[in-house]
Amino acid sequence: MLQHRAILRTEIFSYTCPGAPLVEMWWLSEIVLALAGNLLGWGGIVLVASVVCATIVWLLHRQLLAEGNELLLATVFTLLATAVCATHWLARPHLATQLMVVVFAWQLRWFNRGRVTPRRLLVLLPLLMALWANLHGSFIIGFVLIGIYLTAAVVKWVRATAEQRPALHERMTALLALEIACFLTSLLNPNGWKLLVQVIRYTSNPLMMGMTQEFLPPNFHDLGTLPFVIVLVVTLLMLLIVRPRLDLTDKLLLIVWLVLSLRMVRNGPVFALVATPILAEHWNAYLCAAAPSRILRRYRGLSARLTSIDQMAGSCGLPALATIAMILVLAKPRLFGGQPLLTTELPATQFPVAAVEFLRQSPNAVHGEMFNDYVWGGYFTLAMPERKVFFHPIVLVYEEEVIRDFLRANNGEPGWEDILAKYHVNWTILPREHRLNRFLARRADWRLVYSDPVATIYGRIP
């Protein structure tokens, strides 16, 4: 896109669907990351992602403090939400969604409490929605957040007395106008209304969604879900111990995003970001009103000392100095001597770097079309663009027949030989322990071309 100064409109990376219509759902994020990569290498991409992650934490922490929560409690809850989000902190466009969720949830919450005017809401959020729709396809989450607040306002209006209804009617009108305005500004993208259609098509297709693990329900046997489980436990304890009188809007926010996060692991960070201000508010009120005890006195003493230290540090710029020092120590650029302690190159233990180098050195070792690993598809489009892949992770460009054929062959199901023949596959490049390699090793019409601890290449014997 940078080279041709144009948005991609058709599929150009795979030979199984050449020229298929392509709706870029995160083109602007790709441009930003590509510019950073061209300027600073892989480290530039990591830098952009790190800044976005840090901004998410900073905004959430500022919100909790601005709502009157004690520093210690606000910090603990922010770190807990951070732990949930961090499982998805990769240098990928979806980081933009977490950032926008923080801002949307914050502004809607404050509007609901009269701390943000309708005018500010109707100016800020539609502008951010226009940006969000170009950064990542999950901008539809913004519509859901607004819809929850609008639904709660309608229910309150129905239940309200005659004296309460004018204020609620004004709130409903503002939220409805906001929903419409955000919908209209979301159309300000290179694909217009087709973008929303593409998002709906993707999220409503179980076959496509099932290709990506983060779109599946959470696996509670995985340690990576532990922070999410802790947030659930803290929420349950709040209901059992604190027993707050939750506002209808807060109830809907907790219920809707809890259900969605149990349906799809990728919604876990959204639940954490939306629930944290609610949890912090009621736990803070509970601790402030609790009867004095030894533990509570220690908590308040520690919180007071940390608040004092924080105020002193903020006034003399210590956080900025500490951040710069940490970057210098970890990155350790050559200007200061030595090699970086943190590397940002693609790890050769996870990607077929050596195998690709072999193909560069021996281009005639294989001929014709390839069959490749799903996860490696994106890497091959970067590392050897001259060889078109069978399949890459942008599954939206593929017809369902191609997806099903790929899955059957990739799983080594009966008929996999026919599928490889159907697409004229003459060689494969797969992880060393891939199931299909064992089948190919037993075939007389296939031979081992290359193997290392990461990847194995088989070629069809002419």
Q: What's the chain's average pLDDT?
A: 91
Count of domains in the chain? 2
Q: Write down the number of H helices and E strands in the chain.
A: 19, 4
Span 201-234, pLDDT tens digits: 888 888 888 888 888 899 999 888 999 999 999 9
Residues 226 and 307 in one domain: yes
Instruction: Check whether residue 285 and residue 393 sit in a common domain.
Output: no
Q: Is the pLDDT of residue 141 over 80?
A: yes
Q: Please tell me the distance from the alpha carbon of residue 93 to that of residue 115, in angstroms, as a whole number.
A: 31
Evaluate whether residue 8 is within a structural domain. no
Which residues make beta-bridge pairs with 430? 456
Average pLDDT over residues 145-156: 97
Q: Are residues 157 and 280 in the same domain?
A: yes
Q: Residues 149-175: what's their mean pLDDT?
A: 94
Residues 236 and 98 in one domain: yes
Judged against a pLDDT cut of 70, whether residue 314 lies above it is answered with no
**278 shares its domain with 168:** yes
- Is residue 377 within 8 Å of residue 3, measured between CB atoms? no
309 and 358 both lie in a single domain:
no
pTM: 0.90
Ordered DSSP codes for 203-219: HT-HHHHTTSGGGSPP-
Alpha helix (H) residue ranges in 204-293: 206-209, 226-237, 248-263, 268-289
295 and 391 together in one domain: no
Phi-psi region of 122 (alpha: psi -120 to 50; beta: other; left: phi over 0): alpha
Residue 278 resides in a domain: yes
Residue 29, CB half-sphere, CA atoms under 13 Å: how many? 20
Name the burial class of residue 194, with classes exposed (0-12), middle (13-18) and buried (19+) by CB atoms within 10 angstroms of its CB. middle
Boundary (domain end) residue, out of 313, 336, 371: 313
d(CA 85, CA 268): 8
Question: Domain containing 165: what range?
Answer: 27-313
The answer to whether residue 3 is domain-embedded is no
pLDDT tier at 406 (50, 70, 90 boundaries)? very high
Residue 16 lies in a domain: no
32 and 129 share one domain = yes
What gap in Å lies between CA 70 and CA 284, rounded to an integer? Answer: 7
Q: Looking at the structure, do residues 246 and 112 belong to the same domain, yes or no?
A: yes
| Residues 174-185 pLDDT 10s | 999 999 999 999
Tell me if 2 is assigned to some domain: no
Question: Are 187 and 101 contained in the same domain?
Answer: yes
Q: Determine the Cα–Cα distance for residues 293 and 86; give it in Å rounded to an integer.
A: 35
Residue 282 lies in a domain: yes
Model confidence at 316, pLDDT cuts 50, 70, 90, reads: low
In terms of pLDDT, which residue wins out, 336 or 80?
A: 80
Judge contact between 83 and 227, C-beta under 8 A: yes
Instruction: Tell me the one-letter amino acid at 412.
Output: G
For residues 64-89, average pLDDT: 94
Q: Give the pLDDT confidence score for residue 204 in this predicted structure.
A: 86
How distant is the alpha carbon of residue 429 from its chain centre? Answer: 28
Give the pLDDT score at 335: 56
Of 313, 330, 365, the position where a domain reaches its end is 313
Whether residue 101 is found in the same domain as residue 225: yes
Domain boundary among 262, 296, 313: 313
Closest C-alpha among 431, 434, 438 to residue 454: 431
Based on the fold, state whether residues 225 and 374 are members of the same structural domain.
Answer: no
**What's residue 294's pLDDT?**
84
Assigned domain for 334 exists: no
